Structures are given as structure tokens and as C-alpha cells.
A and B are shown apart, each in its own frame.
Chain A
């Protein structure tokens, strides 16, 4: 799985950080998404999929 985030689309709702804190963080100054791990291990895939699904701005894309 490869994770791609679009910081321009992000609205800082923070849902991804709540669901998968090992993979997503927020920039301290403006809460915009920061990707911590673009190839997360398999045991995090379900959380990452959920994060992508609940992102209100459709800013998380998953490949593979």
C-alpha cells in the first residue's frame, strides 16, 4: 500500500490523525495533514483505509 496525501485539499478536520496516528499527523502551525509513513505496514492498512474513507476533503489516496 502506498499512501498519498494532498495538502492543498486538506481542511484540517483531523479525522485521519484520530484513526491512524502512526501514519498521519498535523502541521503544528495550521493543522494541515502530514504523512508520516507512505508505506505503512500491513497491520495498519485497515486503519489507513478507514482514515481515507472518513477524510471529508478526499485528501487521502491509496495506491495498491
Chain B
């Protein structure tokens, strides 16, 4: 559903459903009619229910688009598996994204952020904040973490864009996926004989070499981390900045606030913007009841986090951006066992990026009127395509 006149709000139709029919059926692109959940409590209940499956191969699973359906039949990663398979794969990575380990990356992330701002300040005005800053920050970080050469970024930025485009055809989607899997598969093979200090090397040595996983399975995991690792944070940096520039008092609070306030602002921006805005998709494994509604086995379910995060029963004055709000219980990272694995990393990246950018460039402003900014209505992850800024 397209977002409305305020580019930061959920689709008006979702807001209407939250008020008038919070549990309802919705027709999706293939003609099927999964259940749509909009209330905060119901969204959490659905996502935490072990009788509800994330397996996109199951009949009734509400596929996001023809392109995404096609690629999920080719490569499965743990986001589309149920436990115990999901837990077994996820646990291979939980150590890499744990809070303390990610905290150790903070100085390196700070250096990346500072260097990119130096470069932007030394370059021409206006600049596109997406290309100059928002995209390179998470891209550099996830490349270093995974052990993917950053020099190849033009290639994986291109294929990644296709993978999150709602209107990509099955052919385009599959071609992009094969290109990325082929590239990562070769990289994993190389790391088998010449491992470095990175996640793909560790998976190559511990899993592929011992027969625990195939190189193709590690490549599938790598593509999930690579795409998720930069499409999300990059959009949060650029869209968050757009929202703050429209709310100068909130931007000033972030710029002048202490670390605690900045961390709080990150939670509020995650809630307010909820960039994964096409619903978390599930299918019922058995008959069950949610909020008094009987759901039958095999029926599709969509938990709309972006509107659940605007549910006034959990967030008073939900449409207001208030960086001092207590918002940590938002569902922007999802909920249940599939909740985002990379969230500690995303938090640190966002804290460092927001904190440093507005402090170092206090005169930062849009170089075009807001209505000329192109928002990503066409992508499964919301954001801005470009953000012309000056200072």
C-alpha cells in the first residue's frame, strides 16, 4: 500500500484499518486474501506464535511480489525457515552481532563516518547524502564484517537494488540473485583456502570444510546479510535525516543531546519511520485465534509493523516525532524469533551516524523542496532514492 501525503506516515488505508477494522482480510497481487493485523498487540501476538510459520514455501504464504516469490524458491535463508532449522542457522551468527562485539566496532564505525563526512565537505555542493554518506556507512561496515571486498560495491549495490524492488520481474529477480550467489560462492571457495578474520571465512572453515553447510548455503546466508546489512541502515540514515530536517527542534535535540538521548532518538526514529513497510509475512500452521478472530490452518497472515508502531494504545500521540519518547518496544525490527539479528549493529551505526553528521554539519539542509525528494514507494524497504543536501 502506497504511503500518503505525509511521506513519513504509514499508508492512509492502513491507518484506517487500525481504527476501523484492525483484523481484516486484504487482497494481494496474486489475488489471495491473507489476514492483515494492524494493532500493536496483535502484531506481536502473531509474530511470537510458534503455530505461525515463516516458511515461504508453504501453501498460503502471502508472497510479497512475483520477483521475491521466484527468488525464495531458489535460495532459502533462515528468515524463511522455522525452528529448529531457523535456530540452528541463526545461532551460527548470533555471536557476530552480539552487543559487546558490536560495541567493539564503534571506534571503527566512527572513523568510517568521520572520513565520509570529510570527503563530503571537501566535495561539491549540493551533494547527494545517499551516495556520499548514507549508503557507504553500512556498506563499508557490512563488507568488513563479512569479508566482502568493498571495491565490488557497484556490483552488489546494483543487484541489491533489484532484490528489494517490488516491481522486479521473476526473471530480473532471479538473475540478480544468481549473480550475487555466484559472486559470494566464489568468495567462500577462496576463503576456504585463504581465510581472513571475517564472518564468511569463519563459515567457510567451520561449516563448508566440515560438511556442515555447502558453499551455496553459506552464499545464501551471505546474500541475506549483505542485502539486509546495507539496504536497511542506509535508508534509516537518509530517511531519518529527511524527517529530522522537517522537525528542526527534534534535530537540534539530537545534535545537542548526550549519548543517551541520541540512543533514544534512534529508537524513536526506528518506530516513527518503520522502513520495512510491507508487512511481516506468515502462514498459519494450524487453526488458531488472534484477537477473537478464528484463523484457519494454511491461511496467510500479514503483520503490519509500520502501523502497529503508530498504535496509540502503546505510543501516545503516535504520529508525532518525539526523540525523548520511550519507544524501545517498537516492532521496527520485527518481533518473535525472527526479530532482526543485526539490530545491535544497526543501532550503533545509526547512533554514530546521526550524532556525528548534525554536529559536524550544523547548517545541513535540503537543497530541494521536500516534494521533489523521491521516496521509495516502489521498494520493500522504504527510504529516499536521493537526498540533495547543502550546508
Contact = CB atoms under 8 A, between A and B. Distances in A.
Contacts of B101: 31
Contacts of B245: none
Given A11-B337, A18-B344, A54 B48 contact: no
A13 B100 contact: no
B264 to A, nearest CB: 12
Contacts of A30: 91, 94-95
A56 B99 contact: no
Contact of B99 (A9, A26, A50): A26
Contacts, number: 72
A19 interface: yes
A26 B341 CA distance: 14
Interface in B90-125: 90-91, 94-101
A54 B336 CA distance: 10
A12 to B, nearest CB: 3
Given A18-B99, A26-B100, A56 B339 contact: yes
A28 B335 CA distance: 23
Interface string B65-93: 00000000000000000000001001100
Interface string A28-46: 1111100000000000000
B334 interface: yes
Contact of B341 (A12, A28, A32, A58): A12
B329 interface: yes
A4 interface: no
A50 B97 contact: no
A17 interface: yes
- Using C-beta atoms within 8 Å of the partner chain, give the interface range for chain B: 20 to 34
Contact of B334 (A26, A54, A56): A56
Nearest to B326: A50
A63 B91 CA distance: 28
Contact of A58 (B48, B91, B340, B347): B48
Contacts of B97: 12, 14, 31
Nearest to A17: B99
Which of A9, A19, A28, A31: most chain B Cβ within 10 A?
A: A31
A57 B336 contact: yes
B343 interface: yes
A19 B263 CA distance: 11
B334 A31 contact: no
A19 B328 contact: yes
B100 to A, nearest CB: 7
Nearest to B98: A31
Given A11-B339, A14-B343, A32 B334 contact: no
A28 B337 contact: no
A15 B99 CA distance: 9
A28 B341 CA distance: 16
Contacts of B336: 56-57
A23 B150 CA distance: 38
Contacts of B347: 18
Contact of B95 (A11, A18, A28, A56): A28
A17 to B, nearest CB: 4
B251 to A, nearest CB: 24
B334 A12 contact: no
A37 B219 CA distance: 40
Interface of B: 47-48, 87, 90-91, 94-101, 328-329, 333-337, 339-341, 343-344, 347
Given A12-B94, A25-B100, A32-B94, 11 more contacts: A9-B337, A11-B87, A14-B344, A15-B343, A18-B328, A26-B99, A27-B95, A28-B95, A28-B98, A31-B94, A56-B337
Interface of A: 9, 11-15, 17-19, 25-32, 50, 53-54, 56-58
Closest 5 CB pairs of A and B: A12-B94, A31-B98, A56-B339, A31-B94, A14-B99
22 contacts: A11-B341, A13-B340, A14-B97, A14-B343, A14-B344, A17-B100, A19-B328, A26-B98, A26-B99, A26-B100, A29-B95, A30-B91, A31-B95, A32-B91, A53-B329, A56-B47, A56-B48, A56-B333, A56-B335, A56-B339, A57-B48, A57-B337
